Chains A and B, each alone.
Chain A
Amino acid sequence: MTSRKTVLVLGGSSDIGRAAARAFAKCGYDVGLAGRDVAALEPDAADLRVRYSVDVDVYRFDVLDTASFEGFVGSLPALPDVVISIVGLLGTQESAQSDLAHATTIMRSNYEGPSLILGLFVEKFLARGSGTLVGVSSVAGDRGRASNYVYGSAKAGFSAFLSGLRARAGRGGVHVVTVKPGFVRTKMTEGMKLIGPLTVEAPVVGDAILRAVENKTDVVYVSGKWRLVMLIIKTLPEAVFKKLKL
């Protein structure tokens, strides 16, 4: 093993996961890629090894299988310096309104699983006295909107979890970053109508995550425009907000 810093990316085959892995590998980190389909992670692992001459391992990780989490953390050859959770599921708001199973999957994928796994890592990090945890949440969690409140509420829960985690862990030398990407052109948003000036490509998010970790930023809106947009949306009085089609 080398003495380089290591990053573990949960959701490594997602577009943002791949982008984050590249950003960290380029900066000299050894990388762990974790996802449901290990075979699908191999080509990305090979790409990172050739591109950046770093060590890359792949791990099976299923965010819905919370029973496996302790075993997963215990099975890692070494405790990483940085853990990034990019796992999430947009789902379909319309079906989630009547399909309880679908709504449950959205809530578990965006809140329960990511929170529990980062919660496990924080204990190990605090015991070591160092490390950074990154949760990729969403601007959708800033206020529940008619068009995506199932997803949004789960992200709101995750953002609140990260906020509390940060307040607690900071005293023990562990930093927690909340990332709110806004619209990103990825497979998750494929087919959605995205507003051009508010939309970024995945590598921009990957670079923003790396910068936030290096600079110990608390909450990152990848595009500054989103901070403004969400500030306006958050400050609208409920009487006005409920009449808007957002």
Chain B
Amino acid sequence: MTLVSGWGRFPVVDTDLQRPRSFEAVGDAVAALTGSVARGNGRAYGDAAIGAARTVAMTGFDRVRSFDPATGRVRLEAGVLLSDLIDIFGPRGFLPFVVPGTRFVSVGGAIAADVHGKNHHCEGGFGRYVESILLRTGQGETIEVSREQNSDAFFATVGGMGLTGVILEATIRLRRVETGWIRERVIAASDLDAAMRALDAGDTATYSVAWIDCVARGRDLGRSLIYLGEHAGKDELADGADAFPVGKNPGLSVPIDLPSMTLNRYSIRAFNELYYRMGARRAGGSHVVSLYPYFFPLDSLGDWNRIYGKRGFLQHQCVIPETGARAVLGGILDRVARRGDASFLAVLKKLGQGDGILSFPLPGYTLALDFPVKGDILSFLDEIDRLVVAAGGRLYLAKDARQSRTTFEAGYPALRRFNAIRKSLDPKGNIRSKLSQRLFDEV
């Protein structure tokens, strides 16, 4: 048995971790008992990629099968990381259409969580660019699923948190780009109203996201820096710049678990003040930045999850439907600011419609906040959840480690349909994760 946790390092679970070397061995691992789920690069925050009994590591399946430069179509094994795709195809003028806040996620994980990026409001999530998936179902079949073929299984697998079976391979479409650079425009918003207005105005931008200062209170409540971005053309680059910048692996890593008091209300307040002021100074004009700091600012610091200490942290990411979002977001931010222990990692952005049956996104605003695991944080987050549910919102399963069944069922009315498809693919219930035990499975 092996101790495994998600990126948030909470909860830590003892699991039978298997590393199959062939698709047949994947099938054997799943068929042998009830309670397995596939695991990619372990970047889901909570318990999504930990099996109820057994966890099937897929990172060994990291081969690219084929690539067609005429269409940008690539066929690959599920353990290939988005960082590999960027390294391999970026210099040839292709990038994934959708990247989340870290490039160190597997393709299988990106499909299972239907991850979104800074362009969800206009271009949709990762699943939109998946053409087909090779799936090993719980009842032992290996089937190809797509919008045309086994389409129920396809739309249940996109955003299905690995619960329809093990994603073995996928065909995805890449975006043609002229360069690996982004033309970025920073807007300083002095409060929540200004931030939401700036995001609304940014609906026409390909990429838009806001860093939000969740320590600021009173009339500064919700003050933000909004980052808009467009792919830069070759003619926008400085003379002599390479069309594709080099992505460095993290040069600096957090070597140990920092004491949990490293992040306290004073250090966060000081950091946020400095960060906002420096950002505000850059606001107004536009400049060209490498795709790495634009899309993956935290990837430059290895193992950054250790700054929250040994007990780990929780990320709370909700989406609130557009109508009435202002009041709910204000209410959440006010409560968080009063507590003062939310981290500097707070993100606000707009989402569009999700593609999968259980995909997280719905048209509205998503707010992501990190909290160290300590004190009364669990009951505090339950209180936030009640605001989310009352507003018709929901929580992102890829980040979740603690929401209640009530919150989940209220937020995902398509759950019944999802479970029916799941049952048809896996009548004996071989595929089960800690997350599904907590929220999906009949008890």
A→B interface (CB under 8 Å): 43-44, 46-47, 50-51, 187, 190
Contact = CB atoms under 8 A, between A and B. Distances in A.
A46 B66 CA distance: 7
A51 B88 contact: yes
Nearest to A187: B21
B67 interface: yes
Contact of A46 (B19, B21, B65, B84): B65
A44 B21 CA distance: 13
5 contacts: A43-B63, A46-B65, A50-B65, A50-B74, A187-B21
Contact of A47 (B19, B21, B63): B63
A47 B85 CA distance: 12
A190 B66 contact: no
B328 interface: no
Nearest to B61: A43
Contacts of B19: 190
A47 B76 CA distance: 9
B21 A51 contact: no
B275 to A, nearest CB: 35
Contacts of B63: 43-44, 46-47
Nearest to B88: A51
Interface of B: 19, 21, 63-67, 74, 84, 88
Contact of B88 (A46, A50, A187, A190): A50
A193 to B, nearest CB: 12
A43 B23 CA distance: 13
Interface centre among B63, B74, B84 (most CB of A within 10 A): B63
A46 B21 CA distance: 17
A50 B21 contact: no
A50 B74 CA distance: 10
Nearest to B80: A47
Nearest to B22: A40
A47 B64 CA distance: 5
Contacts of A51: 64, 84, 88
Given A50-B64, A50-B67, 18 more contacts: A43-B63, A43-B65, A44-B63, A46-B63, A46-B64, A46-B65, A46-B66, A47-B63, A47-B64, A47-B65, A50-B65, A50-B66, A50-B88, A51-B64, A51-B84, A51-B88, A187-B21, A190-B19
Contacts of B74: 50
Nearest to A22: B62
Q: Lowest 4 A-B CB distances belong to which pairs?
A: A47-B63, A50-B64, A50-B67, A51-B88
A187 B60 CA distance: 10
A43 B80 CA distance: 14
Contacts of B88: 50-51
A51 B64 CA distance: 7
A187 B63 CA distance: 17
Nearest to B62: A47
Contacts of B67: 50
A100 to B, nearest CB: 29
A190 B64 CA distance: 24
Contacts of A47: 63-65
A51 B81 CA distance: 13
B440 to A, nearest CB: 31
A80 B377 CA distance: 62
A187 B25 CA distance: 13
Contacts of A46: 63-66
A44 B67 CA distance: 14
A20 to B, nearest CB: 15
A98 B19 CA distance: 31
B253 to A, nearest CB: 15
A167 B337 CA distance: 70
A44 B74 CA distance: 16
A185 to B, nearest CB: 9
Contacts of B21: 187
A92 B63 CA distance: 30
A51 B76 CA distance: 11
Contacts of A50: 64-67, 74, 88
A189 to B, nearest CB: 11
Contacts of B66: 46, 50
A44 B84 CA distance: 15
A43 B66 CA distance: 10
Which of A44, A47, A187 counts the most B-chain CB atoms under 10 A from its CB?
Answer: A47
Nearest to B21: A187
Contacts of B64: 46-47, 50-51
